[in-house]
A and B are shown apart, each in its own frame.
Chain A
Amino acid sequence: MTAPPVLEVPVLEVQDLRTVFLTDAGPVRAVDGVSFRLGAGETLGIVGESGSGKSVTALSLLRLLEEPARIVGGQMRFQGRDLLAMRPEELQALRGDRMAMVFQDPMTGLNPVIRILRQLTEHMVSHGHHTPAAAKHRAITLLGRMGITTPERTVTGFPHEFSGGMRQRVMLAMGFANDPALLVADEPTTALDVTIQAQILDLLRGLNRDFGTAILLISHDLGVIGSVCARVAVMYAGEVVEEAATEAVLADPRHPYAWALVNAVPRIDQPLGAERRLTSIEGAPPDALDLPTGCRFAPRCPFRIARCETQHPPLAEVAPGRLARCWVTQAGAVLPKPGGTGFAEPGAERVRPEAAAPLLSVRGLVKHFPLPRETLFSPRRVVHAVNGVDLEVARGETLGIVGESGCGKSTLARLITRIHTPTAGSIRFDGQEIAGASAAAIRPLRRRMQMVFQDPYASLNPRMRIGDTLAEPLVAHGLLRRGAEARERVAELLSTVGLNPAWAARFPHEFSGGQRQRISIARALALQPDLVVADEPISALDVNIQAQILNLMLNLQERFGLTYLFIAHDLAVVRHLCDRVMVLYLGQVMESARSADLFARPLHPYTRVLISAVPVPDVGAQRGRQRVVLQGEPPGTLVLPTGCPFRSRCPIARPVCETPPPLAEHTPGRWAACHFPGEFDPGSSQALPSAQARAESPA
């Protein structure tokens, strides 16, 4: 590492950066006057919804833009050197050396046909820092530092041999190979599971601390940014609209868009309120081809004043060290706390519906997928996706299902809606057994249980007008005839989900992601179902749209008494929306309880770890919060787990865990499958004595 310069020159200084895409339709102003400054060893986050210009900013910094993008204005200085004036060779010498970048998708970012070792060392050698032998040594050391347990073996492998989390560690090691002064990380954890995300964020914090590398972290998730970055710049429509300490923005945003962003997401580190509706703003970001002349947020801004429509606000200081681009807050106004209902007393949550006769009751559900043989003679392998799941859902209730990727959440949803046929077990829907029922026998029940999928685009037929998409199931089930009657119902459905009924004649591609998810919901509602199974319905959406969809789901539930099975990996959302929560691991239930109880005091170590993995801003009460970062990754699903499935990663596993713990009811309605429930509790000084824990679980 070089000694700190005598004169404090910032690592990166960006002034009024402007990047446009020269498209046939005209110049798209993707980045339009972005300024910020990053000192040596500092951390800055960039947050904003998709399309706000975050990645283009990052690519502009490294001058990695591709056709038809052009940097048309501004200044960028890296350690005092003008990046825009550099010749290609100078840039090449800088990239991957003093200035490194890590991209979002670790699955595609590594070259599939080149060994990890060469990908890690080639730029150490080409930048002239290391001989190949020294580079190899360093690569192995770095991988070890990134938390890879057998780096000597890992380097000899090819990318396809590793999971997404491992590959992201390799990408990080690649970024740090030449000990850069600045690391730009563009959504480095978005493609990863929450436990792996926690590991990677932990790593970033450590690297910043240990190597003094300045980090520019781009994310759509303020929680992620808050857990790593001291300062944050909020982007909207190509501009920075607010820049301040992350803590300050979270507590007291000074730009209405930042305000909407902060309040659109439920926070797991804050008490639940009685009001479950989230703050959401209507409308969409402006068309980058045709930006408003005044404030770019004006068409959607709830605090708009007359001046906003005509005059473009500058980014100006609203408080010491705080910049915001808003006429109203620059005049000294304070944005209100959202909701207005305040926080509820404990126990004031929604009364849980009575579980007299459950609408859905599942017992011992099993699903195994035999894989096709790899070669003629290799043994047939089997994916054990779901391995004995019991669950019950009462009418009008919302049951959340959480767990890491591959734990069987989606398969469970598809079994319940009988898209898949179970290998074993029973599914009773409203008293009727459907696990082994024929397609014909299920048909009448189909309209009473509907599914909403993660990808709203893939689940809508692109060549069908949405009016027809919505009318189709109605006509197919003989509930309506084509024509006026169907049109009327379609219009009604569209307005139920908050869309303009006149849009029935449009095709799916004419809608935004959020609107398409509304259409999927309208389609699910068309047949007036009792049960809606939603598999990650908001995961692909921006936080503001997420809030809209969640609010919509809440409204519809109240209006029609719907029962939801809600699958998600976002625990804060699940806590916010669900009455009860079930935690899955390797196709088995680890814990199931009322949402409030589960989050207040998880019994199963896995639940504890999942909750702890949710990135929360490192501010206030959370500062220095004891994080439990779960090591390793879930074992594969090709072998049926023996004993406690979690024991390979459990921080408190003991020999007795070789025998499978039963899913036992510990207090009414609280089930956990662990020999030592509640014992793993690093946050509290009063761990349950194990003897008591054992006494609680009926052997």
Chain B
Amino acid sequence: MIRYVASRLLGAAVMAVLATLVVFLIANTVPGDPVLAQLGDIAASNPETVREWRAKWGLDLPLWERYGLFLRGLLNGDLGTSIASQRPVLEDILQYAPATIELATIAFILALAAGIPLGIAAAVWRDSWVDAAARMVSLIGVSSPTFWLAFVMLALFYGGLQIAPGPGRLDPIAFPPPDVTGLFLVDSILAGDWEAFHDAAAHLVLPSIVLAAATIGLITRTTRAAMLEAMGQDYVRVSRSKGLPERFIVLRHILPNALIPVVTLGGLAFANLLAGAVMTETVFSWPGLGRYTFRSAAALDFPAIMGITLVVSVSTLLVNLLVDLSYALLDPRVRR
């Protein structure tokens, strides 16, 4: 077990180093000239200005030297300076990340909490109305485009029924809770500010449903398939021959086996959520990394792009590490 964990940790570290290289290469070989994107047309036509500008951002150095600088910076917690905002990228990211983390985490919990029970029910009552309903839910979730779903939800629950708050993380006139973690739910609890908590939670409902929709569908489907697969295994018949109650067989024998593929999917789904955040945040005016990404990409702000990509890669690596570790908890065959 310890060896397994150690080897996974080491693997993740190696992957993280590789990720820096890949991120660096991609960001520095993007088509499009940041000079043109940043300097005005007139400035860009002056070779002297362009040379100075390139020297300032280190663009005149050879690629490998720039990678060295980039790595050295990373070690000092320096992700470079954003071309667009002129602030350290790390500072930008730290400012925008909590909003996204809060949204993605809630959406992820929602996806698991809805998808797994729905998948179990669909498998246990296979071909019944429960199964049909679960199939509908997952079909809608998987096939509605995030953008479209976001607008429909806003129009329906905010514009039409007026039972949900509008875009943003809080009411425009409300004050955010004192900043500790940047996660409004956590900060408001820490401050004992229940009004803010309620406000933040209400603002999270629609965007997290929108963001989770596709993942709920995927998890429902996977759980159902994995449950059905596990139900057909010999040990299930053996459990019945032992006279165990059916409920016990489903929850204690079938489910632990069925969760193994679901965990794999969970890791992938989290990466998907981060991607989906770009759309959702844009529609819901959510001041998160998604919107920051969108802006930086449009401006070809490559230090910012590198920083974001790196943060996303590392968090994906972390999630995968968690997935590997939960395997070890779920499946004794992988611990050695």
Q: Which chain B residue has the least Cβ–Cβ distance from A97? A: B243
- Residue pairs across A and B with Cβ atoms less than 8 A apart, 29 shown, are A64-B240, A64-B241, A91-B243, A95-B242, A96-B243, A97-B243, A101-B241, A108-B233, A109-B238, A110-B235, A111-B235, A111-B253, A111-B257, A112-B331, A112-B333, A114-B252, A114-B253, A115-B332, A122-B244, A122-B252, A123-B242, A123-B244, A126-B244, A127-B243, A171-B238, A174-B238, A375-B7, A376-B10, A377-B7
**Does A158 interact with chain B (Cβ within 8 Å)?**
yes
Q: A109, B234: Cβ atoms under 8 Å?
A: yes
**Which residues 289-336 of B have a CB within 8 angstroms of A?**
330-333, 336
User: Could you say which of B238, B239, B241, B333 contacts A158, with CB atoms under 8 Å apart?
Assistant: B333
Q: Which residues of chain B are within 8 angstroms of A115 by Cβ–Cβ distance? A: 332
**Does A681 interact with chain B (Cβ within 8 Å)?**
no
Q: A160, B242: Cβ atoms under 8 Å?
A: no
Measured CA separation A109–B241 after assembly (Å)? 11
**Which residues 220-244 of B have a CB within 8 angstroms of A?**
233-235, 237-244
Q: B242, A96: Cβ atoms under 8 Å?
A: yes
**Does A391 interact with chain B (Cβ within 8 Å)?**
no
Shortest CB distance A438–B (Å): 39
Chain A 379-423, CB-CB to B under 8 Å as 1, else 0, gives 000000000000000000000000000000000000000000000
Measured CA separation A109–B239 after assembly (Å)? 9
Measured CA separation A95–B252 after assembly (Å)? 18
Q: B241, A160: Cβ atoms under 8 Å?
A: no
**Does B57 interact with chain A (Cβ within 8 Å)?**
no
Please tell me the size bucket of the interface on A.
Answer: 20 to 34
Measured CA separation A103–B239 after assembly (Å)? 11
Instruction: Give the interface SS of chain B, mostly helix, strand, loop or mixed.
Output: helix
Chain A 512-548, CB-CB to B under 8 Å as 1, else 0, gives 0000000000000000000000000000000000000
User: Could you say which of B3, B241, B332 contacts A100, with CB atoms under 8 Å apart?
Assistant: B241
User: Could you say which of B234, B235, B244, B336 contacts A96, with CB atoms under 8 Å apart?
Assistant: B244
Q: Which residues of chain B are within 8 angstroms of A108 by Cβ–Cβ distance? A: 233-235
**Candidate in B3, B11, B233, B244 with the most chain A CB atoms within 10 angstroms:** B244
**Does A105 interact with chain B (Cβ within 8 Å)?**
yes
Q: A122, B242: Cβ atoms under 8 Å?
A: yes
Q: Which chain B residue has the least Cβ–Cβ distance from A110? A: B235
Q: A103, B234: Cβ atoms under 8 Å?
A: yes
Known: A113-B257, A113-B331, A376-B11. A95 touches B336 (CB 8 A): no
Measured CA separation A498–B241 after assembly (Å)? 44
**Which residues 36-91 of A have a CB within 8 angstroms of B?**
62, 64, 91
**Does A92 interact with chain B (Cβ within 8 Å)?**
yes
Known: A103-B238, A111-B235, A375-B3. A158 touches B244 (CB 8 A): no
User: Could you say which of B234, B242, B245 contacts A174, with CB atoms under 8 Å apart?
Assistant: B242
Measured CA separation A271–B240 after assembly (Å)? 46
Q: B10, A113: Cβ atoms under 8 Å?
A: no
Q: A62, B333: Cβ atoms under 8 Å?
A: no
Measured CA separation A166–B243 after assembly (Å)? 23
Q: Which chain A residue has the least Cβ–Cβ distance from B233? A: A108
Q: A111, B330: Cβ atoms under 8 Å?
A: no
**Does A374 interact with chain B (Cβ within 8 Å)?**
yes
**Does B256 interact with chain A (Cβ within 8 Å)?**
yes
Q: Which residues of chain B are within 8 angstroms of A174 by Cβ–Cβ distance? A: 238, 242
**Does A316 interact with chain B (Cβ within 8 Å)?**
no
Measured CA separation A604–B69 after assembly (Å)? 73
Measured CA separation A95–B241 after assembly (Å)? 6
Chain A 334-377, CB-CB to B under 8 Å as 1, else 0, gives 00000000000000000000000000000000000000001111
Measured CA separation A171–B238 after assembly (Å)? 9
Q: Which residues of chain A are within 8 angstroms of B10 by Cβ–Cβ distance? A: 376
Q: A126, B331: Cβ atoms under 8 Å?
A: no
Q: B256, A114: Cβ atoms under 8 Å?
A: yes
Measured CA separation A529–B7 after assembly (Å)? 52
Shortest CB distance B12–A (Å): 12
**Does B248 interact with chain A (Cβ within 8 Å)?**
yes
Q: Which chain A residue has the least Cβ–Cβ distance from B3? A: A375
